[in-house]
Amino acid sequence: MIVRRGQELRFRGPIAGCRAYLAVAGGLLAPRTLGSASADLLGRIGPRPLQAGDQLLAGPAPARDVAGRRLRPGAYALPSGAELEVAVVPGPQEDWFPAAERFYAGSYGVLPASDRTGLRLDGAAVEPKPGELLSEATPLGSIQVPSDGRPIVLLAGRQTVGGYAKIGVVCTPDTWRLAQIRPGTTRVRFVPVGLTEAHARYRAALAALEGAIY
């Protein structure tokens, strides 16, 4: 869509899911920290969050580069239904969970305390064995489990390291689906897959992304 000077865009909220995104050709001109204009609220790095009245400037982008381009309808629509299946690669501390099969046997609801840092789940508890774990990197989609046994799926705003045991890692193409679930709606069922299948799912998602813009 080409937007001219003086035109106004209005959004009424997402039709499905709980988050919507606005992409601007040329990017937004904003001060950057460590190469990013994002605000890391946990680490207190980067600019403050946007407030009403703030003005953002768009970078240069020739109209011919975006004219006529569209995102295929439904390309990122959440699957309909009361339950969403999510692929998980077991580990890296799966052996810390004596009742790991309980995690995959049931389904989980999303709690209101969830945010872009992590998706907090309500369902069968899977307590890790007693012990201390050295803090280590927390990749996108890590499923860490505190001592209360309630899993938390780490999302885009997660901390960089953590000391909770991780029962598995969500396949990357499924993380955006989890981030769009509204608390109290869709339930989540986790399905274990091997690394080979996880790589195949990732390649398929990249191919679908290329075909979503036309």
- Give the integer Cα–Cα distance in Å for 134 and 111: 28
Predicted local distance difference test score (pLDDT) of residue 56 = 87
Which domains are assigned to the chain? Answer: 1-69 (no CATH), 83-212 (2.40.100.10)
- Give the integer Cα–Cα distance in Å for 184 and 154: 19
Tokens 């003005």 belong to which residue? 55
Backbone torsions φ then ψ of 161, nearest 5 degrees: -135, 160
CA 89 to mean position of chain CA atoms: 16
The pLDDT tens digits for 100-127 are 999 999 899 999 999 989 999 999 999 9
Whether residue 79 has pLDDT greater than 80? no
Q: Say what the alpha-carbon torsion angle 208, 198, 163, 179 is, to the nearest 10 degrees.
A: 30
